[in-house]
Amino acid sequence: MTHTIQYEVGNDGIAILTIDLPGKPMNVLAPEFLADLETLTDRVSSDDAVQGAVLTSGKKSFIAGADILDISTVYDRGLSPIEAAGFSRDMNRQLRKLETCGKPFAAAINGLALGGGLEICLACHYRVLANEPGVVIGFPEVNIGLLPGGGGTQRLPRLIGTEKALPLILQGKNIQPEQALELGIVHELAPAQEVVERAKQWLLESGDPVAPWDKKYFKVPGGAGAMTPKNAQTFMVGTSLIVGKTQNNYPAPIAAMSAVYEGCITPIDAGLDIESQYFGTLLAGPVARNMMRSLFINKGAADKLVRRPEGIEKSKVSKLGILGAGMMGAGIAYVSAKAGMEVVLLDTSIDNAEQGKAYSANLLKKAIERKRSTKAKAKALLSLIKPTTDYNDLEGCDLVIEAVFESADLKADVTAKTEAVVPESCVFASNTSTLPITGLAEASKRPDQFIGLHFFSPVDRMPLVEVILGEKTKDEAIARSLDYIQQIRKTPIVVNDSRGFYTSRVFGTSTNEGIMMLAEGVKPALVENIAKKAGLPVGPLAVTDEVTLELAYKIGKETAQAMGKQYPADKGQEAIRKMVEDLDRKGKRFGAGFYDYPADAKKNLWPGLAEEFPSSDEQPPVDELIKRLLYIQSLETARCFEEGVITHPEDGDIGSIFGWGFPPWTGGTLSLIDTVGIREFVAECDRMAQAYGPRFAVSDWLRDRAQKNLSFY
């Protein structure tokens, strides 16, 4: 008896294998399922009454992929690459048995099939895919530091050719049913309710139990390896593009390309063994562990509101108020209306409010042009956004988000005006990026319902929302805020109050370190390039221009005023003061910053930087600069953890990756410390504190953790 697959043989001699893992919302490649599949493969093969088999799913999806919770612990368990390759070898052996059992198998793919789910389909001799909205297939493994380890790097190129297969394997993008049919990955499309019958029809009419690559004289479409000039060019150019894009921080794409190249010039069984070797090397390495843990497991838990207080009824925002129709307010209005909420967008003038609504109109116009929306849907969404200057329009709001200028006095004024109108049950949230929530809540008559919701720009593209708790914020406000974030399909982290909270505080160390390098004589182009080599999306000088030097200057002044003698003034702050006060170069919005912004050309580093910040004759090693840039952020995250600003390492890692783009290959700021080893990390910080200053100084708390070898996870 099998527990994960239902088995039934009809009078027509066709066995129906229905995958349905008990207690799981989606089918995954759990060890029990793979064992059951092997058992039933033997049963199909040995039963003379069975002509062939249809493999389908009893759930809405087919198979979502591997059980990441299981394989993500391989690195921490200390398995060797050879031992880790066993995960791939076992699956390849089982699927190879299915493929060569002498009976034809047809996959009736009634829903999405990703990763190992698609690999099972490729091992079947015929594939019918449901042509329904939301159904996709693909190999997302590269996005979590792995490659397809169940035959995907071998069967897909043999099926559709290397040139077409490589982008699907290397980019990790899902494809729609029509494209899957066009590429030749599936044999036919059908409505979901008909896929099983179509698969049975093929089995009864012409079921062929031999895969193309097991037939005599088989050749990979378009050639394998470097056997044709076009194929050779694909691999040479592809390798160059991968190195340029990944900076060799991500081993999975190169390993996948190598598996395809080496495996496809051998017979299928040798190719599968080559694939398993590369898979094992990746699975036993830290990058895959870091990416699986942070990008899949931890993010998934956050999306399911793991930090939501218990015992509070689930809530839904029907009417949302937004104070301030600038870029942040306009972005929040768009994502909220997209989620079906009635949105009141309030500003000081109706022109400003209308301009905020126009932001949504522009996004929708682009979506229509790209065929991602329709005019009817756009009209319906825009009808939910009401521009206004009248606070009375906020009556009946479930939640109000303040997104006005970073001034405590202004925020206090709009808080009082709002609370005079909204229901007592309304939660009030501030979108401030730096001002402490506890201080802002002093202007509220209901500080227990006052909270921080820090969005990131542009709101429609950035996935993170930082939830900041004031000293008096109660659980109900937390729960309702998290429910709203889930409504708009964002990922939340929950942090405690402090100046700059978590994300702004740590992000500031990154930009400041880059500006410090500039002030020390490091060439500006080198400052920017080492950030990209480390895996950051943009250099510290460019990102400072984006948020404006003026803002960094004002935040620095406010922080210095608040901290007094404790404020750590340094060369970076002096460089910002010089750029703003002396040189009137305040950032991109003002047309001039560390970069020039010519109207008819791309931005370029301002040549005047060479005169204002002369470069040293001898430049530091690239690896040293990268270490400075990454370690300062990890060290500040550790300080946030020590101070209780963040209370879970998962939030620190998710916030760093999705908030400001800390390199995903590290797993996040705290995962970086664990990967390096806390003792080595502390020793390096001690060395850098001597070389570059007290900002790298390690606290007694962190030093004690290092002595005890206590990791964050």
List active site positions: 454
Residues near 451 by Cβ (< 8 Å), separated by ≥ 6? Answer: 427, 428, 429, 430, 437, 467, 468, 469, 470, 473, 477, 478, 481
The token duo for 438 is 């506890």
Instruction: Give 564: exposed, middle or buried? Use CB within 10 Å, 0-12, 13-18, 19+.
Output: exposed
Q: Report the relative pairing of strands 5-9 and 14-19 from DSSP bridges.
A: antiparallel
What single-letter DSSP state applies at residue 296? I
Alpha-carbon span 217 to 105, nearest angstrom: 23
Measuring CA to CA, how many Å separate 473 from each of 321, 428, 429, 467, 494?
A: 20, 10, 11, 11, 12
What single-letter DSSP state applies at residue 450? E
Q: How many CA atoms lie within 13 A of 510 on its CB side?
A: 33
With residue 188 as reference, give the H or E element that holds it. strand 188-190
Q: Which of 628, 629, 646 is nearest to 637 (CA)?
A: 646
CB-CB contact of 6 with 18 (8 Å): yes
With residue 239 as reference, give the H or E element that holds it. helix 229-246
Count of Cβ atoms closer than 10 Å to residue 64 Cβ: 22
Instruction: Give 311: exposed, middle or buried? Use CB within 10 Å, 0-12, 13-18, 19+.
Output: exposed
CB-CB contact of 513 with 625 (8 Å): no
| Adjacent-strand bridge partners of 109 | 129
Q: Which of 648, 669, 665 is nearest to 467 (CA)?
A: 648
